[in-house]
Structure 1
Amino acid sequence: MSMKLRCKMNQKAADKIAAFLTNVSDRLLFHIPLYEIGKAFDIPREKILDIFIQGVYDGVFILEWIYHCPTCGHVVYEASSLQQASSQNFCTVCNKVFNNTLDTNIEVCFSIHPRLKTLDPAFKLNYIADMGKSIRNGKYRTWDTPDAIKGVEIIQNNLYRELMRSEVLIGDQVLPLKNATVLFADVINSTKLYASLDDRKTFSLLKEYTCILSDTIEKCGGVPVKTIGAAVMGTFIDPGKAFNAAVKALRYLMKHTQNKPIQEQLEIKIGLHSGPMLAVTLNNRLDYVGLTVNSTIDIKDTALPNEIVISEALFNNRSVKRAILSVTDTVQKQQIRFKGNPDNHTLYHIKIQNRSRKNR
């Protein structure tokens, strides 16, 4: 069997993986342990996931969505596409109905494509049988290890969203996330800008800013979900990366504006919040909705120019606290209740200084 894998950012890593998989046993080609392989070759999780997603697109691998019982871990449903997603399933072992969640009980596995090698059906049968044996012995959720690929890691992968655009939830289908971080960044007074500059110049300027914001979100490990006017929404699995993205975006844009005419020196405000949300399809693209998303918009609106405002959920995160201390020793606390929102919010306002100005 010959194999060719592609990777725009690290072709050498892709070549190493291809050479390795060409000489392994058939058993290892079923539910390939890509994160374990990545550690062996010193390839970061994000990079090796990109290599395998590109491989799916190129017809080297197949991708399977596996729905486990959240209690015992039994496999209750399998699908080859996100379009076949199931919001709810029944576990015959636990004898109960449960809701599926992208970051808790949905696993994604990669195997060799049948056109390259036909695997023995016994591999899958043994996989199910071994899991059943573990459950009978009182060992639950044996699939859920640090090297397991959760469904959220796939839909939060930018290459997957780029290459598999047709992989969306169908109709009213939704899949919850137990916890994710939302970032909303918005250019201040964009409407007034149209009045002071001509439409074409304003549109070009706002597009320049939103592109910078989207690029920063992606480079920091998040997904730029959408642009709404002069605002950009991004989502992250890791709240620490979300906060770092906000700081980098704000600093870069402040530096970017220094040499522009005064009327083009735009300011932005950023809000961050973590919590549960729903993955849905809007405008034929994967999107997120829910109270957490709406609250992030409200949080963003409390920010002053060139300020980041975060919720208490983020402030209590260790990696975020460390990141805050690296940029400022002054944080302003605010208690607020938003209109139409049943929750009271404790917010933390963080003013970011432009390093170049500070060092002058």
Structure 2
Amino acid sequence: MSDSPLSLLRRHLQQAEERALFHALPHQIAHALHLSPRLTLETLVEALFQGDVILHWEVRCPACGHIQEMAGGFAHARHDYTCPACQTTSPLHLDHEVQVTFSPHPQRRVLSPAADDPAFREAMRQRFPPTTVHELMTIQAFRDWARDEPLPAGEYLEVQRLVVWFSDLTGSTALYARQGDPLAYHLVREHFDQVFDAVHQAQGVVVKTMGDGVMAVFLTGEQALRAALAAHRALADFNRHHALRGDQRLALKIGLHQGPAIVVTLNDRLDYFGTTVNVAARVSTLARSWETVFTEAVLTEPEVLNLAAAHDAEPFRAPVRGLADPLRLYRLRFPDVRQPSRDAGGSLNH
């Protein structure tokens, strides 16, 4: 039987040279463990809970590149940062300037002063990409942990780029009428498992539920669109499994938009606000059952272009409340989700 990722990490924490463990980059650890970056990050969060590692927030000044550890995490975060090296004040972006590293917890392994080797750390930064706090926030377990570390009252942090998903369930009214409240309620609640799993498998994270709806965020448009495809297919399987036919079938309508947002603590959880969130919510109302509607902003990635073309996305324009001009939008329809869809190739003119 192969070792679990947590076992591999614990062995690494005991056996690796000290310099490789002091403020180690997650991608650096992933390379050492021969694990994917995502699995490594999930394992590091688990190790954080287990007391195997400690988490460091590090701020890289956008003006001069100076790196400073930011103690206290969310509880002491401020949206503006003044660099001690160049005295430049600039906003903090959780997906850019604020990065994370990990070290062994002193109760697991005490590192000597020689572990603090700035030249070695800079060499690792040149070799491996950074991991931002916002990437860490797409790990569901970390979001749950952050409930105990709220941002200060009235404080916010910025994200330069994320994809916001809003989904809503259709068909639940007819289901309640035909199946009765207890069974229908059970099925409607169970559909969340299908949506949550699709979001998780695509490396997104669920922010909250609202009635029958779900808000989630992703780092890329490709992740969000693949999650939408998976969620539609999962709900089709769900209907077949529960023998839901005709107007009893449950379906999703999904809206996606990409852009900046602010992060706040609201109702004891990290939440997102801003124009991007508002537009995503309103775009979702333009979708019908078995449809995903997304904005042109989501279409900027080549991978999204390929997916959209492969699934015959239809361009259209529509007014969105709160915006002066109609938005250029794309509609993916799932007339028969039982049939396998292409997921590569094709072209899309926009």
Residue in 2 that maps onto 1:188? 170
Residues 144, 291 of structure 1: CA spacing in aligned structure 2 closer, same or farther, 3 A cutoff?
farther
Residues 240, 32 of structure 1: CA spacing in aligned structure 2 closer, same or farther, 3 A cutoff?
same
Matched, 1:65 2:57: yes
Matched, 1:286 2:266: no
Long gaps (5+) in structure 2: 342-350
How many residue pairs end up in the alignment? 338
SS at match of 1:257: helix
Per the TM alignment, residue 295 of structure 1 is displaced from its structure 2 partner at its CA by: 0.3
Matched, 1:230 2:212: yes
Matched, 1:36 2:28: yes
Deviations 1:48-103 (A, max 9, x none): 11221111111111111112211212135511432121211112433321110001
Matched, 1:257 2:255: no
Paired with 1:18 and 1:358, the residues of 2 have a C-alpha distance of: 41
Residue in 2 that maps onto 1:221? 203
Residues 54, 343 of structure 1: CA spacing in aligned structure 2 closer, same or farther, 3 A cutoff?
farther
Paired with 2:237 and 2:337, the residues of 1 have a C-alpha distance of: 8
Paired with 2:163 and 2:282, the residues of 1 have a C-alpha distance of: 15
Per the TM alignment, residue 117 of structure 1 is displaced from its structure 2 partner at its CA by: 3.3
Aligned counterpart in structure 1 of residue 118 of structure 2, from 104, 127, 143: 127
Residue in 1 that maps onto 2:192? 210
Paired with 2:185 and 2:127, the residues of 1 have a C-alpha distance of: 47
Deviations 1:201-235 (A, max 9, x none): 33222212222112211122110111100111111
* Paired AA for residue 241 in structure 1: Q
Aligned counterpart in structure 1 of residue 259 of structure 2, from 275, 283, 303: 275
CA RMSD, 1 decimal: 2.7
Matched, 1:17 2:1: no
* Paired AA for residue 324 in structure 1: A
Residue in 1 that maps onto 2:347? none
Matched, 1:115 2:107: yes
Paired with 1:159 and 1:92, the residues of 2 have a C-alpha distance of: 33
Paired with 1:233 and 1:277, the residues of 2 have a C-alpha distance of: 14
Paired with 1:74 and 1:196, the residues of 2 have a C-alpha distance of: 63
Paired with 2:157 and 2:221, the residues of 1 have a C-alpha distance of: 20
Residues 190, 303 of structure 1: CA spacing in aligned structure 2 closer, same or farther, 3 A cutoff?
same
Residue in 2 that maps onto 1:297? 281
Aligned counterpart in structure 2 of residue 316 of structure 1, from 289, 296, 300: 300
- Note the 1:94-173 alignment, pairs <5 A: 94-120=86-112, 127=118, 143=125, 146-173=128-155
* Paired AA for residue 250 in structure 2: L
Matched, 1:248 2:230: yes
Deviations 1:158-212 (A, max 9, x none): 1212344313323222111000011111112645655565433332222122221
Residues 303, 242 of structure 1: CA spacing in aligned structure 2 closer, same or farther, 3 A cutoff?
same
Paired with 2:160 and 2:128, the residues of 1 have a C-alpha distance of: 17
SS at match of 1:79: coil
**Is the 1:73–1:143 contact (alpha carbons within 8 Å) kept by the matching residues of 2?**
no
**Is the 1:67–1:105 contact (alpha carbons within 8 Å) kept by the matching residues of 2?**
yes
Q: TM-score, normalised by structure 1?
A: 0.85
Identity %: 28
* Paired AA for residue 204 in structure 1: H
The answer to which of 187-196 and 274-283 deviates more is 187-196
Per the TM alignment, residue 261 of structure 1 is displaced from its structure 2 partner at its CA by: 4.4
Residue in 1 that maps onto 2:346? none
Matched, 1:347 2:338: no
**Is the 1:77–1:89 contact (alpha carbons within 8 Å) kept by the matching residues of 2?**
no
**Is the 1:76–1:89 contact (alpha carbons within 8 Å) kept by the matching residues of 2?**
no
**Is the 1:186–1:231 contact (alpha carbons within 8 Å) kept by the matching residues of 2?**
yes
Residues 12, 287 of structure 1: CA spacing in aligned structure 2 closer, same or farther, 3 A cutoff?
same
SS at match of 2:95: coil
**Is the 2:171–2:248 contact (alpha carbons within 8 Å) kept by the matching residues of 1?**
no
**Is the 1:29–1:112 contact (alpha carbons within 8 Å) kept by the matching residues of 2?**
yes
Long gaps (5+) in structure 1: 1-9, 135-141
**Is the 1:57–1:164 contact (alpha carbons within 8 Å) kept by the matching residues of 2?**
no
Paired with 1:302 and 1:267, the residues of 2 have a C-alpha distance of: 15
Residues 248, 18 of structure 1: CA spacing in aligned structure 2 closer, same or farther, 3 A cutoff?
same
* Paired AA for residue 305 in structure 1: S
Paired with 1:130 and 1:42, the residues of 2 have a C-alpha distance of: 20
* Paired AA for residue 264 in structure 1: Q
